[in-house]
Structure 1
Amino acid sequence: MMQQQQHHHHHHHNHQHNSQIEGSSNPPHPSNSVSSVARSLLPTRRRLKLDPASKLYFPYEPGKQVRSAIRIKNTSKSHVAFKFQTTAPKSCFMRPPGAILAPGESIIATVFKFVELPENNEKPMEQKSKVKFKIMSLKVKGVMDYVPELFDEQKDQVAIEQILGVIFLDPERPSPALEKLKRQLADADAAVEARKKPPEDAGPRIIGEGLVIDEWKERRERYLARQQGEGVDSV
């Protein structure tokens, strides 16, 4: 019992705002101190659900940039920002690199990775353990624009949701993982296409990178066409 109190005191000291709520909402039971430690170490279960849950699958194509896909769902009751990090930023990136999800909302993100050529006589598939990906999460207050700086401003509130390892798949050999990857990549591509099409009645909206410029060019072309048309009429 003594240990438990000490521990609770220690916990209280670290997470004042949490422990009061924990204390009041959970009836005390013997493993209370253990579960509060577990909770402080595992805030992960609360915010995002990842599919695949702990691995990113890539087709093994040496010398090429290949893609993986991951569905990220906000399973919490508040808006959550997520951010993606990698140990190999030169050869890997994710689209989108981060976003804010409403409760229950999910997004399918695409991860791009350059596959190195195997060195010497190393077996190609042995490379997989070198690169790690990390998904971080942060609770945010309602709807806002995603900016990576959110994570710097509130460092102490950031949780590591998952560290993802890499698994290479033989693109020539059919497998359930490969089929699933193909399905998820098709979904991700469809989602990107859907985001590109601006709603008919809305004004210019910034959707993704570079799309506003395309829209601006189209408008300009329409405008010029109209100018020419009017020029002809007025002659």
Structure 2
Amino acid sequence: MAIVDNQQQRRRHKSHSDMKLFRFCPFWHSGGQTSSLSSSTSSSTQNLHHGRSSNRQVEGSQQRSKTVSSVARSLLPPRRRLRLDPSNTLYFPYEPGKQVRSAVKLKNTSRSHVAFKFQTTAPKSCYMRPPGGILAPGESLIATVFRFVEQPENDEKHLDSKTKVKFKIVSLKVKAGTDYVPELFDEQKDQVAEERILRVVFLDAQRPGPALEKLKRQLAEAEEALEARKKPPVDTGPKVVGEGLVIDEWKERREKYLARQQVEAVDSL
């Protein structure tokens, strides 16, 4: 009996010591759950880092694409809103001591209304007609440029001499119905585009050529368009006399008939 009691006491003591050890080290009992929790935490952390790195890569690629596109736009030539004829030259007949004229045709090749304006480095001796305006899509006009030609120092002609006078045409996209004022280009400086810088070329007025003949035709067309703009618009509506009385064809015939009747009555007397 003493041996049995001793064995039971040892078992109780061992179980009691195991309970104490379990209280101090509870993770030993749930070792599998702890390891799975730690592994899931580490995997989620890795996924988070991977997501952040992928976002950084996407943002970096977008920034690089934007930089490349901006550089490409800067290297490409600007898109023209106007087509000029002649494209980059103003031809003037060489007549020293006189005011001579040149012409250039402008056509709006864009899908929007475009305002244009002439600029020159010699505003005292040169001016343009019109100095600016607004063209609808597909609309065109011929502008006339006036310039005074100074006398040369000697009697020789200087047709090939370089001139410092330059002309420039700038454009601006505007909404339909906008009234043209020069201040448009100051209010929207960032949207103003430089169309062309026109160089001056003198032509011998005594020697006819294709360039001189074309210049004469354009100047004649510009004068015809100017005269047409000066004429008042033709009134195609009905005739209105007095306080809004409309005279139609039937009333005119009736009045003529009554007049004839009166004349015949007088003659019969």
Q: TM-score, normalised by structure 1?
A: 0.69
Q: Which structure has the higher relative contact order (CA within 8 Å, separation 6+)?
A: 1
CA RMSD of aligned residues (A): 2.4
Q: By how many angstroms is 1:120 displaced?
A: 4.9
Given residue 186 of structure 1, which amino acid in structure 2 is its aligned partner?
A: A
Does residue 9 of structure 1 match 2:45?
no
| 2:198 aligned residue | 164
2:188 and 2:161 mapped to 1: Cα distance? Answer: 35
| 2:57 aligned residue | none
| 1:133 aligned residue | 167
Other structure's SS at 1:182 match? helix
Other structure's SS at 1:185 match? helix
Larger Rg: 2
Matches within 5 A, 1:1-235: 6=64, 8-9=66-67, 33-34=71-72, 36-39=73-76, 41-43=77-79, 45=80, 47-120=81-154, 123-201=157-235
Q: By how many angstroms is 1:145 displaced?
A: 1.6
Ranges in structure 1 where 5+ consecutive residues have no aligned partner: 13-32, 203-235
Contact 2:160-2:202 at 8 Å conserved across structures: no
Contact 2:118-2:131 at 8 Å conserved across structures: yes
Q: Which segment is superposed worse, 192-201 or 177-186?
A: 192-201
2:95 and 2:133 mapped to 1: Cα distance? Answer: 29
2:225 and 2:123 mapped to 1: Cα distance? Answer: 24
Q: TM-score, normalised by structure 2?
A: 0.61
Other structure's SS at 2:219 match? helix
Q: By how many angstroms is 1:88 displaced?
A: 0.8
Ranges in structure 2 where 5+ consecutive residues have no aligned partner: 1-59, 237-269
Other structure's SS at 2:180 match? coil
Q: By how many angstroms is 1:165 displaced?
A: 0.2
Q: By how many angstroms is 1:128 displaced?
A: 4.0
Other structure's SS at 2:171 match? strand
1:69 and 1:188 mapped to 2: Cα distance? Answer: 8
Given residue 86 of structure 2, which amino acid in structure 1 is its aligned partner?
A: P
How many pairs does the alignment contain? 177
Q: Which segment is superposed worse, 115-124 or 92-101?
A: 115-124
Q: By how many angstroms is 1:38 displaced?
A: 3.5
1:179 and 1:120 mapped to 2: Cα distance? Answer: 28
